[in-house]
Structure 1
Amino acid sequence: MWKIYKKDIRSIFTNWVAAILIGGLTLLPSLYAWFNIEASWDPYSQTDQLPVGIVNEDAGAVVRDKEIHIGDDIVKELKKNDDMDWHFDDRKDAMDKVEYGDYFAVIVIPENFSQKLGTVIEDQPEKAKIEYYVNEKINAIAPKITETGAGSIVDTVTSNFISTVNGTIFEKFNELGLEIEKDLPDIKRFEEYVFEMEEKLPEIHSLLSSSLSDTENAQKMIDNAQALVPDAKRATGNGLQTINEAMELINEAENRLNAMEPQVQENLEKVQSMAVKVNDFISTVQSSDLNLDQGKEIGNQINAQIAGSLQSIETIETALNQLQESNNEQGTNQNQEQINQALEQLSVLKQELQTIQENGQKVNAFLTDKQQEADELITRLQENSAATAGKIDAFVKEYNKNIRPAVKQEVASTKETLNNARNILTEIQSAMPEVEKILANTEGNLDEGEETLKHIIGEFPYVSEKINQLADRIRDIQGETDINEIIELLQNDPEAEKGFFEEPVQLNKNSLFPIQNYGTGLTPFYTVLAIWVGALLLISLLATDVHHPEDFTGKQIYFGKLLTFISIGFAQALVVTMGDMFILGVDVAEPVWFILFGLVSSLVFIIIVYTLVSVFGDVGKAMAIVLLVLQIAGAGGTYPIALLPEFFQTIHPFLPFSYAIDLMREAVGGIVWERAYRDLMILVLFGFIALIIGTFLKEPLSKKTKALMKKSKESGLFH
């Protein structure tokens, strides 16, 4: 084994052609890695060279008397932006250029862009749209980059729009906070009103129910009143008619009273005169000797005089009774007592005169019998006559002083009362149409009010529930927070809030394992790929057998040649890893381990590829190439394995690339030794399996492999 290895090393250093070829094989894989890493170094810093067309068709809009031209604002911002090579054209030219590939993409700001954004203050705001056209056949990556640029425009517009709108909103919030602070006493009173309303809800419901009941009763009363209006009209008319008739009766009674007054006065004077004459006559008779023969004549004279007095008294009684009846007809009770008293006095006088008349008749009867008794009777007659004459005088004075003025005053008062009553009834009669109108309006209002009350009572449970909920919510809010805190929250700096919503979240990037650029991130993949490609180049150009295989065993040939391949592979790994750091300037966190991990990867890859070709010949070369293809796609070198199809996710754990790339990433970014140990163990395991295959299958399969290779050479197509 050592003999074979020493011979190969000596040939490299003694044969200049071999040395040049080996030097080329050592350097060539590194170039593959370096060119790709350099090309991928920082592609996103060159996006300013990607031509993108901008078409501004925005016509602007007027929002609350203020003109806005957001499309023009976007164009102004893009002219100051160098993220891409912006070109400002009309739609036709821009679309022609993107179609022919002069532009990678075209962004069109439509005519209604500002108008759509202005609908934010309306009840149904509409979203504004930016049209994006991209020619995806030009390049696979460029559309993604230009799409990011279009997205950044949208993000910028959105950010500025949000910050402006929210700045305005927070200005209003600030004003609202100041207003709430100013109206805080009123808010407190409102809370008290709500609680008071909640407390009085049962009373309110009771009052509404009572009001509805009263309304229904009032409706009945209005109906009754309307039904009584015709009766009231008739009663008023009848009342006026009755008053007029009463006035006629009063006037007639007054006329009769005025007509009878001289007669009554005359009769009273007659009675008074007769009473005096009777009294004088009786006194004369008493003072003279009574001639019994003349007694009949005397009695007849007395009787005649008394009869005249009685007739006068009856005349007075008739007049007083008529006056009393007249007063009764008019419903007046004033001075009735004086009339009744006068009638009683006249009745007494009449009775006494009748008694005198009776006694006079007795005189005629008894004069002839008893002279003494006659004298006594005349004496009593004289006494009675004197008393009667006094009473007549008193009645005449009472009549003239009280009765007659009282009667006249009563008649005048009755007339005045009737006049007032007639005036009142006349006013009532003239007011009856207005009363009917008021009753009709009141009925309509009551109907409307009754319907309103019924609606209110019907809605009362809902209102009551809402008031209770409002009161409960106020209590909850009072328990959860303080209105002063709300005021403090609303009062703010609008400019600060505007700045906040312009960029509400800032990404504070903390790189645990910082990678300088995109090329550095791809260095592990391209370095591992270069090491595998170097192994493929070696087995393509270098022989895996010796010139005199009969002098060595299969195992000696396998391990002897393996050492040669490993030595050259180490040289390739050293060149590519150190070139990454010192030629390209890749920022590697652990340079030593980066080189060592590269050497381990080269060792495993050489063992695998060499074993395949050494054991299986040309078939092994094909197997190494297939394995390369699978590993490029399935090792997760460029895209995360989670984004790959299921097939590649399945084979990923069984690919040597997967663990070699992870090892190199650990060295570039910073080593987590738990992961490094695992990757090293699995990667070494792949090499160990290949050694086992080569050790035990090289010799048994060599004859078949040689026969297969001989047969392929006979075709003239393979060397």
Structure 2
Amino acid sequence: MTSRPSGTSAFRIAANELRRLSAGTLPKLAMAALVLVPLLYASFYLYANHDPYGRLDKLPAAVYTSDAGAKDSAGKERNIGREVTDELVKSGTFQWHQVSQEEAAKGVQDGTYSFVIGVPHDFSAALLSVGNFEPQQATITLTTNDSNNYLSGTIAKQVAEQVRKTIAEKVGSEAADRFLVGFSTIYGKISEASDGARQLADGAAKLQGGQRELATGADKLATGSGTLATGLSTLKSSTTSLPSQAKQLADGAGQVADGAGQVADGNQKVADAAALAAGASSDIQSKLNGYRAQLAQDLRGAGVPEAKVQEIVAKADQLRSPVDQANTKIQGANGELAKLAAGSRQVSNGARQVSGGAQQLSTAAPQLANGIAQASDGANQLRDGAAKLNDGEKTAVDGTNQLADGAAKLRDGLAAGLTQIPNPDDPTRSKTANTIADPVAVASNGVASAGTYGAGLAPFFIALATWIGAFVLFLLLRPLSTRALTAGASPLRVAIGGWLSSALLGIAQVIVLFGAVTWLVGIHVAHPLGAIGFAILVSLAFTSVVHALNAFFGAVGKFLGLVLLVLQLVSAGGTFPWQTIPDALYPLHVVLPMSYAIDGFRHLLYSGASMKILGDIGVLVAYLVGGILVSTLAARKRRTWSVSALKPELSL
């Protein structure tokens, strides 16, 4: 059997290398420094950037307003620019300074302020123009200077956008509130109109009933007037021959002289005729009085005002005045004739007195006939007027029916429309206005949350620090033991022995690093044990890769380690999502190990551990094994010595 040379095991090779590094004070300090390199890189950076957004109140920023203010649609004076600047300063999000426009421009130019937000002269006027139906777009100005700091300008743009949204929501909420108040006002006015329409409908119904009663009275008036006209016409016909009879009486009076008996007999006839005329005249008077009373009663029953009733009755009285005068004369004549008849047998003083009385009767008869004729004509006119009044009342009834129907429809329509008009109370109106102004709310539901900016960058910088830690280890460590190679040790044992010393130091690096990151910096780790175990695996894989580069390429391997570091910085997606990198870098993201280290750290640090981490572990294990295999191949090549190996062209 071939015995294994003494001191050529992998662990012995690693131990010899570590003893070489710790042989003196300076080597020991150098080895300690190697362990602390990742700590210095990652922990100090993470400490400095742990929560920069929580310290934005230290970032100086300026705000100014030139807003002149304006009146809103209600006539109230508003200065929204002043309201905005006051709210910004009170918010304390930045170290706000209210200055003039000139001071702000000078300050952002010389670096006194990181950025400036300005409110122009017509800001309020533009915002309130919508309520006056003269819409203008309001603007705010943002002034940045990337020579001060690029990220501060980026932050300022986000702040300006947030200010814009806040103002839009504020003004939109106020406008929506005024809009809803308008609905309430409309509701109130429509409600008043609905009450008025209800009253109109009730009044129209009453008018309709009254108009029907008036039409009934007008119909009765027309009927009574017709009856009156007919009666007067009959009376007129009966008194047509009265003047000729009176004349005959007067002619016969001269013949009375033949004897008292004949005169008495003649006078009795005349008295009888006069009595007949007086009776007819009295009957006419009685009928006219009845018609007058009936006319007044019918007019009042028809709803005609009392003043109008009295006016109509007075006109009727004027029309019957000749009848009254004739009646007075007839009654007077009748009395005279009665006396004449009573004393005719005693009268003996001559036919002239009898002839005079007969002449008076002859004179009064035509007047009575004319009066009756005039009364008949007036009654005819009254009949015609009553007929027209009756026709007009029928038309009025139709109109009031339509009015009543229309008023009822108006009442019902307003009542139905009133239920369709919104009338929110103050809390509901305010809530609705806010919803109209800002209809979409974002409910954040993070599956895993980093918490702070520093914690968000921790996976990237821990992975980066681990690579740098592995890289600096081989500034002092020798990748392959020359003694073991010359002793004929197995290439695999030489490779593992050369890597194992860096692996042990790498484990020390990540343990110290995690202690500082969690305890000193204060970054929360959701899965501490898993994260430390994964960090050890990352360190083992990275030291294996860097070891392989140094073992296979020698001094060039150190340069290749830097190149790989740069390539991984730009392709691993440590800061921005890796999908945002150029397409040409996608293959590097898929191939290089730091991408998987960062992904695994994110899962373990942010409480989002999933089965996906098994893929990350598999890739890192593959790099670990692959690095050892390349180192083994390098050890096999180094067993054959060449001039370039004994005296390399480049030594780092």
Task: Provide the TM-score with structure 2 as the length reference.
Answer: 0.60
- Matched with 1:328 is none
Provide the rounded CA distance (Å) in 2 between the counterparts of 1:705 and 1:523.
46
Provide the rounded CA distance (Å) in 2 between the counterparts of 1:178 and 1:39.
63
Q: Does 1:68 align with 2:3?
A: no
1:511 aligns to what SS in structure 2? coil
Q: Does 1:691 align with 2:620?
A: no
The AA in structure 1 aligned to 2:14 is Y
Q: Does 1:519 align with 2:519?
A: no
Q: Does 1:85 align with 2:85?
A: no
The AA in structure 2 aligned to 1:22 is M
Question: Which one of 595, 616, 626 corresponds to residue 658 of structure 1?
Answer: 595
- Matched with 1:544 is 479
> How much does 1:45 deviate?
1.3
> How much does 1:70 deviate?
1.3
**8 Å Cα contact 1:167-1:495 kept in structure 2:** yes
- Matched with 1:134 is 144
Provide the rounded CA distance (Å) in 2 between the counterparts of 1:650 and 1:546.
35
Provide the rounded CA distance (Å) in 1 between the counterparts of 2:197 and 2:578.
62
> How much does 1:588 deviate?
0.6
2:474 aligns to what SS in structure 1? helix
Q: Which has the higher helix share?
A: 1
Q: Does 1:160 align with 2:170?
A: yes
1:540 aligns to what SS in structure 2? coil
The AA in structure 2 aligned to 1:552 is G
1:86 aligns to what SS in structure 2? strand
**8 Å Cα contact 2:14-2:501 kept in structure 1:** yes
**8 Å Cα contact 2:64-2:85 kept in structure 1:** no
- The 5-angstrom pairing of residues 106-505 of structure 1 reads 106-178=116-188, 486-487=420-421, 493-501=428-436, 503-505=438-440
Structure 1 residues 706 and 66: CA distance shift in structure 2, 3 A: farther
> How much does 1:28 deviate?
1.8
> How much does 1:35 deviate?
0.8
> How much does 1:529 deviate?
0.8
Provide the rounded CA distance (Å) in 2 between the counterparts of 1:614 and 1:187.
103
- Matched with 1:604 is 541
> How much does 1:705 deviate?
8.9
- Matched with 2:54 is 45
Provide the rounded CA distance (Å) in 2 between the counterparts of 1:607 and 1:187.
95
> How much does 1:165 deviate?
0.9
> How much does 1:686 deviate?
2.2
2:117 aligns to what SS in structure 1? strand
Which moves more between the two structures, 585-594 or 81-90? 81-90
Question: Which one of 594, 597, 612 corresponds to residue 675 of structure 1?
Answer: 612
The AA in structure 2 aligned to 1:522 is L
**8 Å Cα contact 2:17-2:478 kept in structure 1:** no
Structure 1 residues 176 and 38: CA distance shift in structure 2, 3 A: same
Q: Does 1:34 align with 2:62?
A: no
> How much does 1:27 deviate?
1.2
The AA in structure 1 aligned to 2:488 is F
Provide the rounded CA distance (Å) in 2 between the counterparts of 1:584 and 1:28.
16
2:150 aligns to what SS in structure 1? coil
Structure 1 residues 124 and 528: CA distance shift in structure 2, 3 A: same
**8 Å Cα contact 2:63-2:97 kept in structure 1:** yes
Structure 1 residues 709 and 104: CA distance shift in structure 2, 3 A: farther
- Matched with 2:531 is 594
- Matched with 1:627 is 564
Q: Does 1:535 align with 2:544?
A: no
Provide the rounded CA distance (Å) in 1 between the counterparts of 2:141 and 2:636.
69
Which moves more between the two structures, 57-66 or 497-506? 497-506
- Matched with 2:272 is none
**8 Å Cα contact 1:84-1:149 kept in structure 2:** no
The AA in structure 1 aligned to 2:473 is L
Provide the rounded CA distance (Å) in 1 between the counterparts of 2:193 and 2:639.
101
Structure 1 residues 684 and 181: CA distance shift in structure 2, 3 A: farther
> How much does 1:533 deviate?
0.4
**8 Å Cα contact 1:616-1:705 kept in structure 2:** no
Structure 1 residues 706 and 49: CA distance shift in structure 2, 3 A: farther
1:9-33 alpha-carbon deviations (Å, 9 max, x no partner): 4445654433322111111211110
Provide the rounded CA distance (Å) in 2 between the counterparts of 1:92 and 1:704.
76
- The 5-angstrom pairing of residues 567-578 of structure 1 reads 567-578=504-515
**8 Å Cα contact 1:58-1:114 kept in structure 2:** yes
1:552 aligns to what SS in structure 2? coil
1:601 aligns to what SS in structure 2? helix
- Matched with 1:96 is 106
- Matched with 2:443 is 508
Provide the rounded CA distance (Å) in 2 between the counterparts of 1:584 and 1:72.
41
- Matched with 1:615 is 552
1:464-486 alpha-carbon deviations (Å, 9 max, x no partner): xxxxxxxxxxxxxxxxxx97874
> How much does 1:44 deviate?
0.9
The AA in structure 2 aligned to 1:168 is R
Provide the rounded CA distance (Å) in 2 between the counterparts of 1:6 and 1:90.
71
Structure 1 residues 509 and 556: CA distance shift in structure 2, 3 A: same
The AA in structure 2 aligned to 1:565 is S
Over the matched positions of the two proteins, sequence identity in percent amounts to 28
- Matched with 1:298 is none
Structure 1 residues 22 and 696: CA distance shift in structure 2, 3 A: same
- Matched with 1:238 is none
Provide the rounded CA distance (Å) in 1 between the counterparts of 2:623 and 2:68.
67
Structure 1 residues 575 and 17: CA distance shift in structure 2, 3 A: same
Computing the radius of gyration over CA atoms, which structure comes out larger, 1 or 2?
A: 1
Q: Does 1:20 align with 2:26?
A: no
1:79-136 alpha-carbon deviations (Å, 9 max, x no partner): 3121111122222222112111211112221111111112103445110111111111
1:219-240 alpha-carbon deviations (Å, 9 max, x no partner): xxxxxxxxxxxxxxxxxxxxxx
> How much does 1:624 deviate?
1.0
Q: Does 1:579 align with 2:513?
A: no
- Matched with 1:405 is none
1:614-658 alpha-carbon deviations (Å, 9 max, x no partner): 111111111111110111111011111122222223321112011
- Matched with 2:576 is 639
The AA in structure 1 aligned to 2:95 is D
The AA in structure 2 aligned to 1:494 is R
Structure 1 residues 54 and 688: CA distance shift in structure 2, 3 A: same
Q: Does 1:562 align with 2:562?
A: no
Unaligned runs of 5+ in 2: 1-9, 199-415
Structure 1 residues 640 and 485: CA distance shift in structure 2, 3 A: farther
1:480-527 alpha-carbon deviations (Å, 9 max, x no partner): xx9787445867732332344565444332222232311111111111
Structure 1 residues 602 and 182: CA distance shift in structure 2, 3 A: farther
- Matched with 2:644 is 707
1:682-702 alpha-carbon deviations (Å, 9 max, x no partner): 221222222232223442367
Structure 1 residues 557 and 66: CA distance shift in structure 2, 3 A: same
Provide the rounded CA distance (Å) in 1 between the counterparts of 2:187 and 2:620.
68
The AA in structure 1 aligned to 2:49 is S
The AA in structure 2 aligned to 1:594 is A
> How much does 1:662 deviate?
0.9
Task: Provide the TM-score with structure 1 as the length reference.
Answer: 0.55
Unaligned runs of 5+ in 1: 189-481
Structure 1 residues 581 and 63: CA distance shift in structure 2, 3 A: closer
Structure 1 residues 21 and 527: CA distance shift in structure 2, 3 A: same
1:286-332 alpha-carbon deviations (Å, 9 max, x no partner): xxxxxxxxxxxxxxxxxxxxxxxxxxxxxxxxxxxxxxxxxxxxxxx
1:44-102 alpha-carbon deviations (Å, 9 max, x no partner): 11111222222211112233433221112122222312111112222222211211121
Structure 1 residues 490 and 81: CA distance shift in structure 2, 3 A: closer
- Matched with 2:65 is 56
The AA in structure 2 aligned to 1:648 is L
Structure 1 residues 2 and 81: CA distance shift in structure 2, 3 A: closer
Provide the rounded CA distance (Å) in 1 between the counterparts of 2:554 and 2:430.
76
